[in-house]
Amino acid sequence: METPLTLRVDGEDRMLTVDTRTTILDALRDRLGIMAAKKGCDHGQCGACTVLLDGRRALTCLLLAVAHEGAHILTAAGLAEDDHLHPMQQAFLDHDGLQCGYCTPGQICSAVAMLDEFAAGHPSAVTCGQDGPTELTTEEIRERMSGNLCRCGAYDGIVAAVRQVAAR
């Protein structure tokens, strides 16, 4: 069931032909050689494959490529501009927000989108009263980042990195 498809990945149109069974994650890694999105659990449980899909964070392991013709995908590799790291990437370095680094691209994409959600006034499970959240507390960051697991346990550094960018 081969289907032709165009995906805009990190600012570049990429044309490919995929079997209907291909996830965006597999299309990125196996077909386009874009390795920033990682395959962790492949079942939507770990967050390592997180990218920004049309501006919102999403798990690429659960998305069928054929269902996303024309989608704009931004991976962690596409966040940097020329030689300048994205502030979130720099913050992860500044605060040791990683050890092995496997979950890091997903963490960074998730954190970037999460700050956008927070800025847009989206509630979370820890502050879901009528009024939007006003302060990005540690509890808020942990809740909003709970879809990204880090088996090295670099969570304290990750929270510190997110706080640094949020404070800008």
Partner 1 sequence: MIPFHYTRAVDARSAVETVAGRPGAAFLSGGTNLVDHMKLGLATPDLLVDVSRLPLDTVEIAEDGRVHIGATVRNSDAAAHPLIRERYPALSSALLSGASGQIRNLATVGGNLLQRTRCVYFQDLTTPCNKRSPGAGCAAIGGYTRDHAILGTSTQCIATHPSDMAVALAAFDAELVVLGVDGERRVGLNQLYRSPGTSPHRDTILEHGELITGVELPEIAVARHSTYRKVRDRASYAFALVSVAAALAIEDGLITEARVALGGVAHRPWRAHTLEGALRGRPASEETYRRAAVAELTEAHVRPGNAFKIPLVTNTLVAVLRQLAKERL
Q: Which residues bind partner 1 (CB under 8 A)?
A: 1, 3, 19-21, 23, 42-44, 47, 50, 53, 56-59, 62-64, 66-67, 110, 113-114, 117, 120-125, 128-130, 142-148
Rounded CA-CA distance 168/13 in Å is: 32
Distance CA 88, CA 10 (A): 17
State in angstroms the smallest separation of the CB of 36 from partner 1: 15
Query: Which stretches within 96-144 are classed as H helix?
Result: 104-119, 138-144
Whole-number Å distance between alpha carbons of 123 and 94: 28
Name, in order, each residue with C-beta under 8 angstroms of 123's C-beta and a sequence gap of 6 or more. Answer: 129, 132, 133
Residue with Cβ nearer partner 1 (57 or 95): 57
Cβ nearer to partner 1, comparing 2 with 12: 2
Q: In the complex, what is the shortest distance from the CB of residue 82 to partner 1, in angstroms, rounded to a whole number?
A: 28
Torsion of CA 119, 121, 126, 128, to 10 degrees: 180
Smallest distance, Å, CB 98 to partner 1? 19
CB of residue 43 to partner 1, shortest distance in Å: 5
Q: Which is nearer to partner 1, 1 or 167 (CB)?
A: 1
